Amino acid sequence: MPDSPRFYRALALSEGRIAGTSRREQVVLGSFASPCPGRVLRWLRRQAVRIANGLDPDPLVLPSVSAAVLRPDRCGQRIGDVPTDLRAWAEDERPRRAARHRLLAGNPFLLVSVDHTGWYALTAWPVRAPEPGFPPSPTALDPWQDA
């Protein structure tokens, strides 16, 4: 049986402590699918910028806000900087080009950045396109249809 045509799925994920407790939870921040790896990577790039700006407003974009809320780490320890990592990936074409080559070769792509609050991940992977007629229509899956 020949390989089915590919399409590509992507997720933006986060895991961290909930409301300062010790309980950790993983959250899907977004998902996307396309037959084009370039579209998937553009979506991941937009997610990287969106997440980075949500965690830490870009000082060049919102200087008045960031000056009031950004402070250096009081412990003096080097910890991960998720917004900086995500912005660096989004702004540099080389790692995105490498990610595209990985996807086209049939391999997954994963970018993970960790800080003191948890981790954030951008991932994409190729999947075989489903056969025509799959998934079945929602009514075919409705358990109450004959009730």
What pLDDT does residue 6 have? 81
The answer to whether 109 and 126 have CB atoms below 8 angstroms apart is no
Share of the chain above pLDDT 70, in %: 67
What pLDDT does residue 60 have? 67
Say which residue, 89 or 3, is predicted with more confidence.
89
Taking the C-alpha atoms of residue 4 and residue 2, their distance in angstroms, rounded to an integer, is 6
Taking the C-alpha atoms of residue 102 and residue 3, their distance in angstroms, rounded to an integer, is 18
pLDDT digits (tens, 9 = 90+) for 54-96: 888 766 665 555 444 445 555 555 567 899 999 999 999 999 9
Helix residue ranges per DSSP H, the chain: 37-55, 63-69, 82-91, 93-104
pTM of the model: 0.72
pLDDT digits (tens, 9 = 90+) for 112-140: 999 887 899 999 999 986 656 555 554 44
Give me the DSSP letters along 128-146.
EPPPTT-SPPGGGG-TTTT
